[in-house]
Each structure stands twice: as structure tokens, then as C-alpha cells.
Amino acid sequence: MKTLTFYLDFISPYAYLAFERLPQALQGLSYQVEYRPVLFAGLLKHHGQLGPAEIAGKREWTYRQVLWLAHAQGVPMQMPAAHPFNPLGLLRLALACGPNRYVCETLFRHVWRGGADAADAARLQALQRQLAPARDPGSDEVKNELKQATQAAIERGLFGVPTLAVDDKLFWGFDALPMLRAYLEGDDWFAANWDRVAQSVDGSSMSSRRKPGTIAG
């Protein structure tokens, strides 16, 4: 049985879609999932990137696309009252509870169903009463755990969410679920092609380091 690590941030609509569709996408396969909340903004900062919701034009397209994808996949979804929002309260609550599927489902649906304010203080307090975390979400212990989880994700090679990690491979994005299934089913393509891409990238990097005006022979 394979163990999948599902890296997520509740701010990501694609992470929500991947979370909702994962059981159907991998139906019939033997696997277990460890859910790992991380701060998406921390990944972006490390790589010097902006999130889709921070770029005019791309923001509107992202919202339209995820709502279409939800419609096409039969996943209930409404945009929260404000997006982007500060997800720290949700991430820390997940860690304080122990991020199993029930906890993550509750928090994802808090954000992506109903159209309310995901970061509203009263709603967060109600969530905390409902989930009854074993630890204080506001404790230094939990805050540091989130920082460490995000740093560990960066060191593993993550650059975005959702990412599903299995063995030494990372599958990024909602649209990677079919690819993940093929890997778990033992598709020969991965042995022949996965590392070849990395070799091509390394070669491209070497070319980009040549002095201007030189031609690769």
C-alpha cells in the first residue's frame, strides 16, 4: 500500500477540488493519505512568485475556471465573500486538531461552500468549538509546526498546492490526479520518462549559463 502526502492550503480552490475528487480519482486502488497543511504564501515567497489571485486578469480567470471545473465535476462550490484571505487561522486549527480527512473536509467546506467570509472571527470560533482541537491553535507550538511543515515542503521541492507526494515524485495540481493514478497503477511511462525530463532541464540550465553570443555545438 502506497502512502500519499497531500500538501494543501485551504486558500487554494484547486486544493479543494483535488481534495473532493481524490477518492473518486483513485477508486479501486490501495493507498493511504497523510494530509499536510502548509502556507501557500510561504512557498510563493520562497520562489519569488505571486499567487494567481494577486495578478489582475489571472485572478478573474482563475475564479471562473475553478467554478467551471466544480460544475463539470459535480462538486458543490461557491466563492467565499473575500479572496484571497488570511488562511493562518484555518491552517493552525487543522494542525491543532490533527489534519485527518474529516478535519480537512470541514475546513475546506467552510471556505468553499456557502459563500461566507472564510476568515470571519465568529465563524472561526464556531469551527473551533465544533472540531474541539486537542491543542491550542494559537500556541507557539502549533505556529512553529506550521512554519516547519512549510519549510520541509520547500526542501522536498514543492512550489505550489495542491501537491501529492508519493515515493520520490511530486504531482502538482488538480489536473495531475489522472497522472497520479497512472503512476500508482504502475504505468511504464514513468520509468522511461520521469527522469529524462530532469535531464533536459539540467541541459537547458547549462545552456542558459553560456556567455551571450555563444552557440551550443
Instruction: Please state the separation of Cα 125 from the chain's center in Å.
Output: 24
Per the DSSP assignment, residues forming a β-bridge with 37 are: 8
Confidence of residue 200 (pLDDT cuts 50, 70, 90): confident
Q: Output the CA torsion sign for 135, 123, 38, 146.
A: negative
- The grid coordinates listed for 37 are 497543511
What are the tens digits of pLDDT across the range 50-99? 999 999 999 999 999 999 999 999 999 999 999 999 999 999 999 999 99
CB atoms under 10 Å from CB of 154, counted, come to 16
CATH of 2-192 given 3.40.30.10, 3.40.190.10, 1.10.3720.10, 3.80.30.20? 3.40.30.10
User: Does this model's pTM top 0.85?
Assistant: yes
Give burial (CB, 10 Å; 0-12/13-18/19+) of 23. exposed
For strands 31-37 and 163-166, give the pairing.
Answer: unpaired
Phi first, then psi: give them for residue 37, nearest 5 degrees.
-65, 135
What are the tens digits of pLDDT across the range 4-40? 999 999 999 999 999 999 999 999 999 999 999 999 9
